[in-house]
Amino acid sequence: MNICVIGTGYVGLVTGTVFAELGNEVVCVDNVAEKIENLNRRKLPIYEPGLQELVERNHNEGRLKFSTDAKSAVEFSEIIFICVGTPSSDSGETDLSAVEAVAKLIAKHMNGYKIVVNKSTVPVGTGDLVRNIINKHCVDGHKFDVVSNPEFLREGQAVNDALNPDRIIIGASEKQVAYRLLELYSSLQAPMIITDVYSAEIIKYASNSFLAMKISFINAVADLCEMVGADVEDVANGVGRDPRIGVDFLNSGLGFGGSCFPKDVKSLLHTSGKLGYDFNLLKNVLEINEGRVDRFTSLIRRRFPDMKGKTFAVLGLAFKPNTDDMRDAKSVEVINDLLKGGAVIRAFDPVAMPAAQKVLPSITYCQTAYEACNGADALLLITEWREFKLLNLEKIKQTMKNPVIFDGRNMYNPERKKRLGFEYFGLGRKFSNHMPEKGK
C-alpha cells in the first residue's frame, strides 16, 4: 500500500519505518526541514534501539522516503497517518493545533479517496474534529474516512513494540474501512480489536492512566513502608505475583515522567471535567506523582543541610532508560532543585546528554559514570539504565568524597550497598539510612 506518515518523531518515524519493513511504500513527512535533510543522510533525530539499521535498509531499498513536500505525499497515498505531537496546556487541555494544521493540509492536497488515521494520542471527539476540518477545507469534495488507531509503542523498545504489538486497536465508523487498515497489519501476530472511533480514542487514555495509577499507587505504599520500616520492593513483588495485578509498573521511586503519562492523565482528567465527571482518582494519581521529587530532594537536604559547593554525581538524565527523550524527565526537576541550593552537578547518561544540554546547560557532563562520581559527595541514581546496575561500586567508592547513594529508582540492594560501606537512601526501602529501625 502507499502510505504517508505526517510527523516524523518517535511515533511517526518508527511507524513509517515498520510499515516500510512490512513491504509498503512509505513517505514520512515533517515540517522541520533540517530533520528531513538529516534523515535523507540517514542521520536520525532520535535514539531508539534497532531503528538506525531498519531506516537505512528500507531507505536504501527505496520503500522509505523522507520529505517536507506534504502535497506530493498526500497525493501519493491511500492511507495517511497523523503522528504529530499533542502536548497539554497548563489546564490539562490537549493542544490540538498540530493535528488541526495537518487536517487542513490533507484537505488541501486530497486528490481522491483517502483514509485519514489519527495515530497521535487525541481526546475523544478529535476524529469528529478532523472530519469537520477536512470537510470544510476540501474544495473538490473527495471522499474520505477518519479512523482512530492509537499507538502503544514504548520509547526505548519502540521498534520491537511496533513489530510485535500486544494489540491493534482500530476505531472506525465503517467495518469496511477498519478491514482495509487491518490489511496493513495483517502480517503481525497481534489481537486486532475493532471499535467505534470514540472507544478507540478512550482506550489509549484509559490505558496510560491505568499504568500511571499503578505507579502512583505503589509510591503511596512506599511512603507507608517508610513509616513502619517495611520494604516496598518486597511488598511490590508480593502484590504483583497475583496475576490479576501483575508485577509491571509497580516500581516505586521518583514517579512517572516523559512525554505521555503526565499529559495523558491530565488530558483524561480535563476531558472528564468538561463532560461533568469529577475523576478524583486521577487527581490523586497526579498529586502523588508530583510529590515524588520533593520527597527525594528532602532526603538529600536532610543529609546535606548546606548544599552550597557540594558535588552530586547524577546518573541518568533521560525520562527512562534506553531513550534520549528528556521531555518531563525527573532529572530536570531534581537537578534544578539542587542547583538552587548551590550544589554542583556532574552528570552522565549513556545517550541523552546532547538532548539534556538544551534544558540543563549549566551542569558538567562526564564521559562515564565513573568520571561523574569522581570527587562527588553523593551519587544520585535518577534513571535506571541497566549499565548503572553493573557498575563497580567498590571502585567508585574509592574516588568519592563521601560514599553516599541516593537511589531514586530503588535499583540497588540497600543491604549490599551498606555492606560495601555506603550510606544508602532509597524510597520506601528497608535498611535505607533514614528508615526507622522497626520491622528489622
**Rounded to 10 degrees, what is the CA torsion of 386, 294, 95, 316?**
-20
Compute the distance between CA of residue 230 and CA of residue 244 in angstroms, rounded to an integer.
23
Which one from 4, 225, 260, 373 is the annotated catalytic residue?
A: 260
Q: Rule CB under 6 A: say whether 31 interacts with ligand NAD.
A: yes
31 — phi, psi (to 5°)?
A: -95, 5
Bridge partners, 345 (sequence order): 312
DSSP 148-198: E------TTSHHHHHHS-S-EEEE-SSHHHHHHHHHHTTTS-S-EEEE-HH
Q: Rule CB under 6 A: say whether 15 interacts with ligand NAD.
A: no
The window from 10-18, 304-312, 376-384, 421-429 that contacts ligand NAD (CB under 6 A) reads 10-18
Nearest distance from C-beta of residue 259 to ligand NAD, angstroms: 5
Q: Give whole-number Cα distances, 11 to 14, 78, 113, in Å.
A: 5, 20, 25
Q: Rule CB under 6 A: say whether 353 interacts with ligand NAD.
A: no
- Between helices 126-137 and 197-228, what is the axis angle to 10°? 140
In the set 3, 4, 5, 10, which binds ligand NAD (CB under 6 A)? 10
Nearest distance from C-beta of residue 87 to ligand NAD, angstroms: 8
Size of the site for ligand NAD (CB under 6 A): 26
**Grid cell listed for 350:** 549513556
Q: Which residues, 96 to 115, sit near ligand NAD by CB under 6 A?
A: 98, 101-102
Q: Rule CB under 6 A: say whether 157 interacts with ligand NAD.
A: no
In terms of phi and psi (left: phi > 0; alpha: psi -120 to 50; beta: otherwise), the region of 174 is: beta
In the set 79, 80, 117, 153, which binds ligand NAD (CB under 6 A)? 153
Tell me the residue number closest to ligand NAD, measured at CB.
9
Q: Rule CB under 6 A: say whether 11 interacts with ligand NAD.
A: yes
**Grid cell listed for 428:** 520506601
Q: Rule CB under 6 A: say whether 197 interacts with ligand NAD.
A: no
Compute the distance between CA of residue 122 and CA of residue 271 in angstroms, rounded to an integer.
11
Q: Rule CB under 6 A: say whether 178 interacts with ligand NAD.
A: no
Q: Is 260 a catalytic residue?
A: yes
In the set 259, 289, 331, 410, which binds ligand NAD (CB under 6 A)? 259
Any idea how long the chain is? Answer: 440
Q: Rule CB under 6 A: say whether 377 interacts with ligand NAD.
A: no
Q: Given the C-alpha cell 532509597, which residue does it identify?
A: 426
Q: Which residues, 51 to 80, sit near ligand NAD by CB under 6 A?
A: none
In the set 55, 64, 83, 282, which binds ligand NAD (CB under 6 A)? 83
Shorter beta-carbon distance to ligand NAD: residue 102 or 326 = 102
Binding residues (CB under 6 A) for ligand NAD: these are 6-12, 29-32, 35, 83-86, 98, 101-102, 120-121, 151, 153, 155, 259-260
Residue positions annotated with a catalytic role:
260
